[in-house]
Structure 1
Amino acid sequence: MWALAERGCFAAIVPGAAPELGAISARTGVRALGQGSFGLAVPAIGLNATLSHLPPLPGKLALVTQSSALARAVLDWAAAEGLGFSHVIGIGGNATLGFAAALDWLARDPGTGAVLLDLRRIRNRRAFISAARATARTRPVVAIRAGGRALDREGVGDQVMAAALRRAGVLRVEGLEDLLAAAETLARLRPRPGAARGDRIAIVSNGRGIAQLAEDAVIAGGGGVAVLSPAAEAALAALLPGGARPGNPLVLGPEAGPRLAEASAMLATLPEVDAVVALHAPGPANSGEVAAAALTAAAGAGGRGRVAPVLVGWLGQATAGPQRQALTAAGLAVFATPEAAVRGALHLAEDRRNRAAAAELPPRAVLDIAPDQAAVRRIFAAARAGGRLALTEEEALGVLAAYGLPTMPGRRAAGPEEAADAAALLGFPAVVKLLSADLPHKSEVGGVRLGLTSPEAVRQAAAAMLQRVAERRPEARIAGLLVQRQAGRALELRLRLGEDPMFGPWIGFGQGGTTADLLGDEAFDLPPLNLALARQLIARSRAAQLLAGFRDWPPANPEAVAEALVRLSQLAVDFPEIATLSVNPLFADAEGVLAADAYLTLRPAGARGELAIAPYPAELAGWFRGKGGAELLVRPIRPEDAAAHAEAFRRLSAEDVRWRFFSPLKEMSPALVARLTQIDYDREMAFVAIRKRDGAPEEILGVARLIREPNSPAAEFAVVVAPEMKHQGLGRHLMQRIIAWGRAEGVERVLGHVLADNAPMLGFVRSLGFTLKRSPEEEEVYEAVLELAPP
């Protein structure tokens, strides 16, 4: 590496062992793919510096892998399928040039249509999520993780990874077969624009048995069998053999021939169909060749983008194999089994949903949390002063209460007599629990008694449990007893905070109670959460059905549960020293939620959890007073500003719009609004000036934005101010705030482009110290550059 650096080479591929590659790279300045890199291929320019047994074909797929064996398997399969690659990147041990750098490059590559990821070890979780999200905004990204279950038999790590990828808009698949099916689908097909769900599948086949297999696969995969309208069934009836009734699946009979292509094309035009699965099993002589030729001709006729995608399941091998190859060569997405074809359709739908969810515009509502952080710090300090990393139940409930999460009232008691007195004050029925930081599961040693209806019953229960724990766990430190009034009948839920080695802190939600670990009902996400994300987390659990009411269980208040999750998320953001937290049970009913028990552990002194997703930087908010006296809140933009941002755009003049966007934009699309409001605070910043009025939604009167280029010292700015706030000093204030942020983040150069006829902006940036020069590419554009001194 030293020799490479001396010769002016600052990038390398390391296919062999290099255990200290990261340190060597840091010392020499040579960034490397490796150790154990499969290599690098860019087929469009003839570059193939890989360990592949055959040269990759040029195409639109990109493969980023840590496994050489998997890379060779994918390349071999792709060659047989006629699929090519824009890039093959073997990052190996991910020591210096890893996933984030590869994804940042692919996100800007117009020749890449879809990305396949083989994930084993992520070195920088935040950089990875950031780069994956940027890439998934413009193209499908599919990920696989080998060995995840072997490392974590309970499967929590896999579920956390799926949650992390979902937040980034990435499609997670389970195995190599699914990865290849997703590659086949996403490389050749795109969902119909505007499809409401994406998973309403129509099945057409030349045999009933294979159609039924496909129908079972749709249902098992969570998709929907499309319901055809009477008009559609009437139109399809002409294609059926005598006496057959149309429906879905549509079975044409063994001699379907060209009718298979005709029926597929008709189904693809129906508004109630999101995808068509066309199935063919070997039939009478030459019928397969006729059907394949008809499908090939139909595919060549075009129609992509205006109709539902068609996925072909071509069964068999002796005669079907060559036919399948011909269909693949014609550009169709072809599979060897009905189940594989259905999986491809469901992957297409899931990818659409994931990417849409990652760009979903949340409502304006923001949960305002005003926690008592000082109280939490006092509780944590007292535990550490006592030599403990585990909090007692009383302390853990105190932490939750400080964040506004309702908790069950209780009184501490030193012994049985005090417990009886406390119960008399609180009321019956009563609950008595042991207070011990050493017993996270008190029920395992009889440390919880419910349904106590008198002082004497409380006294006896308390004495018995103290004796029992002394016999079974004599080493446990007992801090006393906690007495609570027993809650009425309510749904028991569990909220958890934990730590994943790859993606860091996570939040779990599901059914609670003493059997929570056996129920297997837990959905996962990553902090930070807002209300919209909390609702989505709840919806992914089976507990969501219970919240809506089930048989003799009345409905509970789902908004209160969502608020509890947001409060828990904010606690994780504010106190990264928390290692684990379990709230179980969290009682939920129509009135709201109530935390009855909690267990919290801290990390060792100085240790902190690192979030995979940058939290909202609330500390950067401040106030601005204009020359006319208007007082505005200036804060970082957040996703809930989507509606206000779109409204602010509509108030701009046509000239301001052209000067800001370099085109006469009539309306901002939802995708553009999402891009401008759902920002990655590690990579960019946007300060908005907010006008607050009683009883009215917040209004945005100005925005300044700074976007950093990955691995670059430069950042690009943009600023716009509402017509009513011009000449009030707001634009200057916003630019000063955004420049100060850039300087603090290590930005060395701020640059932007200004239209030559935008005289006010040219004068404005000059007054801020920018230098101006004509763009060498566009005569009507000036380049504005400001060199920043280090902070």
Structure 2
Amino acid sequence: MLRRTMPTLMTVRGSASFRATALFRPRSVLLLADPAVPEAAIIAANLAAGGFKGRLHVIGMAAEGLEPAESVEALPEAPDLAVLCLPPAMLEPAMAALAARGCFAAVVPVAAPDLAAISARTGVKALGQGSFGLCVPRIGLNASLAHIQPANGKLALVTQSAALARAVLDWAAAEAVGFSHVIGIGGNASIGFAMALDWLARDAETGAVLLDIRRIRNRRAFISAARAVARTRPVVAIRAGGRSADASGIGDAVMEAALRRAGVLRVSGLEDLLSAAETLARVRPRVGGGPDSLRGDRIAIVTNGIGMGHLAADAVLAGGGRLAQLSPETLAAFQLLLPPDWQAGNPLSLGPGSGPQLAEAATMLAALPEVDAVVALHAPAPQDGGEVAAEAMIAAARTGGQRAAPVLVSWAGQATAGPQRQAMARAGLAAFETPEAAVRGALHLAKDRRNRAAAAELPSREVLEVAPDRASVRRIIEGARAAYRRVLTEEEGLGVLAAYGIPTVPGRRAGGAQEAADAAAMLGFPAVLKVLSPDLRHKSEVGGVTVGLASAAAVKAEAEAMLARVRAKRPQARIEGFLVQRQAARALELRLRLGDDAMFGPWIGFGYGGTVADLAEDEAYDLPPLNLALAGQLMARSRTARLMAGYRDRPPVDQAAVADALVRLSQIAVDFPEIAELTVNPLFADSCGVLAADAHLSLRPEDEPGVLAIPPFPAELTRSWQARSGEVLTIRPVRPEDAEAHGEFFHTLAPEDIRWRFFSPLKELSPTLTARLTQIDYDREIAFVATRRRPDGREETIGVSRLIRDPAEPTSAEFAVVVSRSMKGQGLGRHLMERLFEWGRANGVRDILGHVLADNAPMLAFVRALGMTVKRSPDEEDVMEARLVL
């Protein structure tokens, strides 16, 4: 009933506030400079040489091509954007003067230790400190420290490193790659990644995004903005210094997990970044394809030399890709291109002197449904016609369509091949020097496709309803706090798991050896004895764990011996008694971990458990919150997944039970952010289920918040509501598992309601649109669904309302609402809108806007009844704007 397939975000501009448009699409730029600052002359020259269409002013120095001004106050009009090349002491007065004049966007390419505080005090938002600057080649803006003018194109670079920015620009100039934006975040003190990505998500001219990430200031805003960009275009990220900052590699692994959740491709070095840029700037995956095309890694190789083909084939397999399996009919067709004694296959070698036939063969391979990408390899050869072959490849690329597989080219060599490769690059082909680089590009394309598909994957409607005993956990934590302990005992840790429905090994606490023997007799044999001490993280290292005790006498004797061993090895350790457990049956040992990363916050790890867990180095990572689908994907990324499938005399593990435990661990992280670390090791898993035998839990300092990078499902907003008919419905926020129900609801709508809601006579909700409607960022937007329970037990969606905040202006939001025909006249639409208003007020929204087709008389009457003002849209004659100030 309201606005388009994907709601348009609008900006309500204040008279004195920052506007993203002023930064990224300025009409006038001011350089405020001290000539003694080295960056001033570089930026002045770049501004003058960039061909900027608007006005350029300078204060503080003479600069050819820039209009001089005496002061900010003396300018004929307020500039949209200011570049500040000033000593640190002069920055705040300059930013205050800009704010007074009405300029609130700046670039600070110099040192500015207090930039965040200055920005907060003045209201001027800035790229910096130490920003590389800002380039928007489309409008001729080069307010940067670049050594060359970047060309206009489809690639966007968002970077914290000026050195990396120059390296990428230098490479791009040689490869004929252009940019829509180059954005220097610098120290990320004021304007960060999130704002830049939000802008790029709405920029139709940006085809792919490169990220150089050192520090994320706002983890939630970054993940949300990155996901918004990755929904519609490839995003590739690099992180320099991650491993040197954290030798364990956990920080790097957690970052990759965070980027994966956002649909971003993580690469490991500058060479990979440039390879990905070469591919993604020029190549798009084919549209359509069967189920086997989802991985995107079936690669066909065609070459004029078999040695090159073998190198490429090895690179495909080493990189985890697949050599496309060509049918006998296909191979027979290619046989016509080969000499009589050559055999067609993959790699397909056309032989020396066949350069001009490479394009024809590559085009034929690209048309095959069983091929996801083609790698065409050329090595110089006598009388091969390298230039003719390159021209043929260029011509073939221009005739390829969206339904053809992409073709990546390796033109090996330099003396003759270099100019040919450059000609192909200028024509828009993804051209590489080596077979391995071309294959790497194809695999980047496949991985990007998988990442973005996984981020938008529609889970089943199955939801694990966790009903924990939160009060019990709260008592355990408060007891530890009261005792001034941040490390809980094993018994307390297992108690937390049990409160969340994770099965635990039965156990009893014992104060001494005889009490331990009595506890073992009650629990049964064989028994496990563990020393209890808040100072012993790994009890087995000091002989603090013994298994297989077959009698009460054995338990008593071992308790006395254990106490002596531990006191001898760790005399300072506080001993609080023993934990006695019934020994679990033989099973696979797993480790589940909840930890915390400085950049992305709480994370969940899964992998091989037991005493060798750290040596096994098998741990996969993800971020909470998890649902069952994400838990299954996390398990599949570990090497332990192969053991869980069963081997030799071991039956398969109940993987559903393991996924269940991971989701419950995730819910602990959501409900109790004061938990800094929780390790479950071992978690015994077999065909009957799981059993936690040990748990280590530590708390954060009381004044340290734990913030998830991904907002959890706001279950507290779930309520019951009674319709006029007396029927009681559930009104709750939408969740990813509602995808199937959303599709069913769409089919209950009348064609007219669909046209009014989506501004188009849609026949189906595409998977992409369904993901967009059900996988939302609860910090940025809300969607309430009205549901009823069907006789088969499934939930049925019968109404939806939605409110999306503008990332550039969070106090403004756009709404949409639609209800099924059966519920019209029941007051459901009004209630759903009132829930939006309530959420908006609680989250700082002041202005709500909706778009209604002019012929939608029922909706126009409805919004007027809600107190909204209605006027015709200035942009579209057949659209009305409904607005409400909360």
Scaled by the length of structure 2, what TM-score is found? 0.88
Separation of aligned partners in 1, 2:879 and 2:396: 47
AA aligned opposite 1:129: I
Match of 2:663 among 566, 576, 587: 566
- CA gap of 1:515–1:273, structure 2 versus 1, over 3 A, is same
Q: Matches of residues 367-406 of structure 1 in structure 2 within 5 Å?
A: 367-406=464-503
Q: Which has the higher mean CA deviation after the structures are superposed, 495-504 or 768-777?
A: 768-777
Q: 1:737 and 2:835 equivalent?
A: yes
> Do the aligned partners of 2:294 and 2:450 also contact (CA within 8 Å) in 1?
no
Match of 1:597 in 2: 694
Deviation at 1:430, TM superposition (A): 1.0
Match of 1:350 among 447, 451, 454: 447
Match of 1:250 among 330, 348, 364: 348
Separation of aligned partners in 2, 1:200 and 1:363: 27
Match of 2:119 among 25, 28, 35: 25
Match of 2:461 in 1: 364
Match of 1:296 in 2: 394
> Do the aligned partners of 2:352 and 2:384 also contact (CA within 8 Å) in 1?
no
Match of 2:283 among 189, 194, 207: 189
Deviation at 1:421, TM superposition (A): 1.6
Q: What SS does the corresponding residue of 2:301 show, helix, strand or coil?
A: strand
> Do the aligned partners of 2:305 and 2:352 also contact (CA within 8 Å) in 1?
yes
Q: 1:500 and 2:597 equivalent?
A: yes
Unpaired stretches in structure 2, ≥5 consecutive residues: 1-94
Deviation at 1:694, TM superposition (A): 4.1
Post-superposition CA distance 1:685-742 (Å, at most 9, x none): 0000010134232101111100000131210110101101111111111100111101
Match of 2:822 in 1: 724
Separation of aligned partners in 2, 1:214 and 1:781: 55
Post-superposition CA distance 1:669-694 (Å, at most 9, x none): 11111110001101100000010134
AA aligned opposite 1:670: P
Match of 1:128 in 2: 222
Match of 2:866 in 1: 768
Q: 1:82 and 2:173 equivalent?
A: no
> Do the aligned partners of 2:353 and 2:383 also contact (CA within 8 Å) in 1?
no
Q: 1:462 and 2:559 equivalent?
A: yes
AA aligned opposite 1:418: E
Q: Matches of residues 743-762 of structure 1 in structure 2 within 5 Å?
A: 743-762=841-860
Q: What SS does the corresponding residue of 2:157 show, helix, strand or coil?
A: strand
Match of 1:262 in 2: 360
Q: What SS does the corresponding residue of 1:686 show, helix, strand or coil?
A: strand
Q: Which has the higher mean CA deviation after the structures are superposed, 547-556 or 485-494?
A: 547-556
Deviation at 1:348, TM superposition (A): 0.4
Match of 2:243 in 1: 149
Separation of aligned partners in 1, 2:342 and 2:876: 65
Q: Matches of residues 103-142 of structure 1 in structure 2 within 5 Å?
A: 103-142=197-236
Deviation at 1:608, TM superposition (A): 2.0
Match of 1:451 in 2: 548
Match of 1:233 in 2: 331
> Do the aligned partners of 2:355 and 2:378 also contact (CA within 8 Å) in 1?
no
Deviation at 1:606, TM superposition (A): 2.8
Separation of aligned partners in 2, 1:437 and 1:21: 43
Separation of aligned partners in 1, 2:146 and 2:568: 65
Separation of aligned partners in 2, 1:241 and 1:286: 15
Post-superposition CA distance 1:142-189 (Å, at most 9, x none): 100000011011111111000000000001000000000101111111
Q: What SS does the corresponding residue of 2:642 show, helix, strand or coil?
A: helix
Deviation at 1:286, TM superposition (A): 4.6
Q: Which has the higher mean CA deviation after the structures are superposed, 247-256 or 61-70?
A: 247-256
AA aligned opposite 2:510: A
AA aligned opposite 1:64: V
Deviation at 1:191, TM superposition (A): 0.8
> Do the aligned partners of 2:354 and 2:384 also contact (CA within 8 Å) in 1?
no
> Do the aligned partners of 2:673 and 2:705 also contact (CA within 8 Å) in 1?
yes
Q: Matches of residues 151-166 of structure 1 in structure 2 within 5 Å?
A: 151-166=245-260
AA aligned opposite 1:220: A
Separation of aligned partners in 1, 2:376 and 2:808: 46
Separation of aligned partners in 2, 1:731 and 1:6: 45
Match of 1:609 in 2: 706
Separation of aligned partners in 2, 1:266 and 1:782: 51
Separation of aligned partners in 2, 1:237 and 1:463: 80
Aligned residue-pair number: 787
Q: What SS does the corresponding residue of 1:406 show, helix, strand or coil?
A: coil
- CA gap of 1:241–1:286, structure 2 versus 1, over 3 A, is closer
AA aligned opposite 1:260: L
Q: What SS does the corresponding residue of 1:528 show, helix, strand or coil?
A: coil
Match of 1:6 in 2: 100
Separation of aligned partners in 1, 2:394 and 2:495: 68
Match of 2:581 in 1: 484
Q: 1:408 and 2:502 equivalent?
A: no
Tell which has more relative contact order, 1 or 2 (C-alpha 8 A, sep 6+). Answer: 2
AA aligned opposite 2:746: F
Separation of aligned partners in 1, 2:800 and 2:351: 63
Separation of aligned partners in 2, 1:477 and 1:196: 56
Q: Which has the higher mean CA deviation after the structures are superposed, 171-180 or 692-701?
A: 692-701
Match of 1:628 among 725, 729, 736: 725
Match of 1:97 in 2: 191
Q: Matches of residues 690-701 of structure 1 in structure 2 within 5 Å?
A: 690-701=787-798
Q: What SS does the corresponding residue of 2:517 show, helix, strand or coil?
A: helix
- Between the two proteins, what is the percent identity of the paired residues? 72
Match of 1:551 in 2: 648
Deviation at 1:102, TM superposition (A): 0.3
Q: 1:648 and 2:745 equivalent?
A: yes
Match of 1:677 in 2: 774
Separation of aligned partners in 1, 2:633 and 2:315: 25
Separation of aligned partners in 1, 2:426 and 2:109: 33
Q: Which has the higher mean CA deviation after the structures are superposed, 204-213 or 607-616?
A: 204-213
Q: What SS does the corresponding residue of 1:407 show, helix, strand or coil?
A: coil
AA aligned opposite 2:570: R
AA aligned opposite 2:456: A
Q: What SS does the corresponding residue of 2:530 show, helix, strand or coil?
A: strand
Separation of aligned partners in 1, 2:535 and 2:808: 47
Separation of aligned partners in 1, 2:812 and 2:252: 37
Q: What SS does the corresponding residue of 1:344 show, helix, strand or coil?
A: helix
Separation of aligned partners in 1, 2:459 and 2:784: 19
Q: 1:47 and 2:141 equivalent?
A: yes
Match of 2:631 in 1: 534
Separation of aligned partners in 2, 1:288 and 1:138: 37
Scaled by the length of structure 1, what TM-score is found? 0.99
Separation of aligned partners in 2, 1:231 and 1:664: 42
Separation of aligned partners in 2, 1:768 and 1:3: 43
Q: What SS does the corresponding residue of 2:814 show, helix, strand or coil?
A: strand
Deviation at 1:382, TM superposition (A): 1.1
Deviation at 1:779, TM superposition (A): 2.2
Separation of aligned partners in 2, 1:239 and 1:552: 52
Q: Which has the higher mean CA deviation after the structures are superposed, 194-203 or 516-525?
A: 194-203
Q: What SS does the corresponding residue of 2:355 show, helix, strand or coil?
A: coil
